[in-house]
Structure 1
Amino acid sequence: MPFPDEEHTGTRIAHHRKRTGLTQRGLAQRIPYSYSLLTQVESGHKPASPDLVAAVAKALCIDVTALTGQPYVTELQQDRLAELIRPIREALDLYDLGADPEITPRPADQLRTSADHLCAQIRATKLYDAALELPAAIAEITTAAHRTPSSQLWATLASTYRTAHDVSVKLGYYDLSTVALDRMDWAAARASDPLLGAVRQYMRALVYFREGEYSIGRRLISSGHGILEQAPPTHERHAVTGQLHLGASIIAARASDEHAVATHLAEAGSYADQVGEAKDVHWLSFGPTNVAVHAVSAHVEMRQYGKALRYAAELEIPDDWAVSRAAHFHVDQARAQMEAGRTEAALKSIVRARRLAPQQTRYHSGARETIRGLVHVSRRTPDTLDHLAAWVGL
């Protein structure tokens, strides 16, 4: 049963709703969810789904993080991750000071390898290691790019800024992720690489997706397609185009546009057939597997949990696929299983996500809400669920 004094997403929704002067019925009239569901979420009897949280945040004109409680500072301090954020913030802030006279950068090829290594750590969800190495890498590559400007070095710097974005998002520092994307744009423009520019628009679209601004997200995806027109029709361009369609499919799902979801998934599938598993293109993990995973996610977002689970049952994740993406899939699957009443299967999926990517899963708001939901629907919580709840700070 719920604990009235416990802080969770539902209590935060109630707090901000009251500050705005709205009753529960008043807020329910502003969002595409029922009064009954809102009352259950506020009381803690139902988990707050990401789409509901985004709708409430938009209706109350506040950031999503005000409702989710991110970043989860207590857990970040326990994992010694909180202390790594300030150096990243400083590295992003010093982009326009030119070369650092105290740094002697390595050759460009070695710097590119270093940037790729950081991307690989993110895909393996080694967030602590990536966050620890990132500030020095940004400083060194920034100095190299200012001293001997080249497209390769600016592209390498854009890659490190993209890693800063990924770290920030996964740890819940969304304000910092926006700064990182601005820096990525600054470096990508100097690299004259339309693919980088399009990837950046894709990532910006996901920022607005999280905040419930679906029309802006769609415009950013469209902008990304426009930028790609500047690139030749290569394998890499096809992969980025396909990824833009995948982003659009999830945004359309949140907007309850089922026709657009089907159209974008079909377009992405067509590009995936052409390029195969394109893991080498800007670390996107684009290909047939990602199309199938997005089909599951899209139907979860549309609250079509039965369809989502049927798609998931047909999906086989390759052993060498990005751990970060595989873990995210298991979290989505767990949400669908929980909503469909398959609580034991949902618990197994969350455990699998934790086993694959413990740091990412611990700071994933969807995983935390699913664990909370499982606790509330279980008459007697198994030891595994008790341990998971304590692990995420519930």
Structure 2
Amino acid sequence: MPASSSSALGLRLETARAAARLSRRQLAEQSGISASMIQKIGEGERHPSDQVLEALARALGVMPEALLDGPSRTDSRVHQTIPDVQRAIAAYDFPDDGPVRPSPQLGADVDLAVEDRVQSQYARLGEQMPALLGELFRAVHQARGRERERAAHLLALALRSADAVAYKYGYHDLSARLVELMRWAAGIAADPALEAVSAYVRMETFFAAGQLGPGLRSLRDAVDRMPTPTTERLAAAAAALHMRAAVVAGRMRQADDARTHLRDAEGLARRVRERLYDGTAVGPDSLEIHRLSVAVELGEETDLQAAVAASARWAPPRELPAERRSHYYIDLGRAQVQLGRPQHAAESLLVARQIAPQHVREHGQVRTELATMVRMTRGRDERVLALARWAKAV
């Protein structure tokens, strides 16, 4: 068993033990497993046998799978829509015959899908995607010339919305396929800004695979391939690439690269109005949110202190999309956890949940953050425990 798997299981065991408010000695008494063995498992030094795992799970009141594989997926009708999305994209290049509405009507539906995505309305989005994707595949297949390019542009934005559902709900293979189709559609649209957005979204595939180095190289390559940002839309696309690259470099603990990308993003973001550009929020406010993200990823105490202090003077405007605003408070909570302030982190996550509950509940970093908070408070903070149970972090 890989050491990383044993470490992850150990953290889950410690989280469940804290949530149950049991000391190692108490867990040993209730499970029949020695306290020294529990300590070694909790510290990732030993991997339990099936019998030991079952005994510990019984004593903690959880299923063995919850310790072995992590919490189960949240209950949601989103999961019921995934097979329909898979069927919709299976024959993308040989779509069934059917009606295709005029481009303005299709564009209006795509705008609604983009709005649902950025407002974290994933359940509604998942229900609407299959039919819309099928119609857009037909539109691209049937149209010619500039009309085909327009249809491909709309298809790329719709695929991005479908990808948000797949990625956030853990369907990473489907997400990777949707991203590739988005890149295919962007190529047909022959639009440099849209191709840059496709590279921005593709980073999710690298995140899911744990391939940060190749992902960062892909973002830099996308920046290099962009034409000179002579328009607001091109400047926004380039700024988005730099903002994402800054976060990735930060996660890799490459402080100089992260700060360089952040400076480049700042130069571009100051030139554009804060709004959605091909589905990505870019502008001065989005830049401030990414500053916090980079500080959290780098994990340097001075930067974290400064970022948390800045939160008392600035907050994301209500005009920003819900997903982006909630992400700010998720990252603020992560910063507060790193500074040893779990109660403050709970307040931040409650704000994030009020803004975009579906986004917060399905966010992997939120579950990790809450599990850490449960361990820090030893399960004694009812508010933290309630949040963790709501997000299925325990």
SS of the counterpart of 1:95?
coil
State how 1:257-272 maps to structure 2 within 5 Å: 257-272=254-269
Distance change >3 Å, CA 8–CA 115, structure 1 → 2: farther
Residue by residue, what CA displacement relative to the aligned partner does 1:299-344 show, whole Å, maximum 9, x if unpaired? 1111123243234444321111010011111111111111212121
Does 2:318 align with 1:319? yes
State how 1:372-383 maps to structure 2 within 5 Å: 372-379=371-378, 381-383=380-382
Identical counterparts, % of pairs? 27
Name whichever of 343-352 and 131-140 sits farther off: 343-352
Shift of 1:269: 0.9
Name whichever of 311-320 and 144-153 sits farther off: 311-320
SS of the counterpart of 2:319?
coil
State how 1:298-313 maps to structure 2 within 5 Å: 298-304=294-300, 305-313=304-312
Residue by residue, what CA displacement relative to the aligned partner does 1:362-391 show, whole Å, maximum 9, x if unpaired? 111111111112222224634332322221
Does 2:142 align with 1:143? no
Alpha-carbon separation, structure 1, partners of 2:11 and 2:180 = 30
* Cross-structure match for 1:387: 386
State how 1:106-117 maps to structure 2 within 5 Å: 106-117=101-112
Alpha-carbon separation, structure 1, partners of 2:68 and 2:318 = 32
Distance change >3 Å, CA 8–CA 93, structure 1 → 2: farther
Alpha-carbon separation, structure 2, partners of 1:190 and 1:239 = 21
Q: Please report the RMSD computed on the Cα atoms of aligned residues, expressed in angstroms.
A: 2.8
Shift of 1:162: 1.0
Does 2:289 align with 1:289? no
Amino acid at match of 2:286: N
State how 1:1-394 maps to structure 2 within 5 Å: 10-11=8-9, 43=42, 74-75=73-74, 78-98=75-95, 100-101=96-97, 103-149=98-144, 150-229=148-227, 233-277=230-274, 279-304=275-300, 305-379=304-378, 381-393=380-392, 394=394
* Cross-structure match for 1:23: none
Distance change >3 Å, CA 340–CA 115, structure 1 → 2: same
Shift of 1:295: 1.0
TM normalised by structure 2 equals 0.79
Larger Rg: 2
Alpha-carbon separation, structure 2, partners of 1:40 and 1:215 = 34
Residue by residue, what CA displacement relative to the aligned partner does 1:115-161 show, whole Å, maximum 9, x if unpaired? 11101001111100000000000001111221223211111111111
Alpha-carbon separation, structure 1, partners of 2:68 and 2:271 = 39
SS of the counterpart of 2:277?
coil
TM normalised by structure 1 equals 0.79
Amino acid at match of 1:368: R
Alpha-carbon separation, structure 1, partners of 2:388 and 2:287 = 31
Q: In 2, are the aligned partners of 1:252 and 1:261 still within 8 Å (CA)? A: yes
Shift of 1:205: 2.7
Q: How many residue pairs align between the two structures?
A: 338
Distance change >3 Å, CA 126–CA 221, structure 1 → 2: same
Shift of 1:227: 3.3
Alpha-carbon separation, structure 2, partners of 1:220 and 1:197 = 12
Name whichever of 240-249 and 195-204 sits farther off: 195-204
Unaligned stretches of 5+ in structure 2?
A: 14-37, 45-66
Amino acid at match of 1:94: A
Unaligned stretches of 5+ in structure 1?
A: 1-6, 16-38, 46-66
* Cross-structure match for 1:49: none
Q: In 2, are the aligned partners of 1:296 and 1:311 still within 8 Å (CA)? A: no
Residue by residue, what CA displacement relative to the aligned partner does 1:197-256 show, whole Å, maximum 9, x if unpaired? 111112223432454423212221122123322x76211000001111101111111222
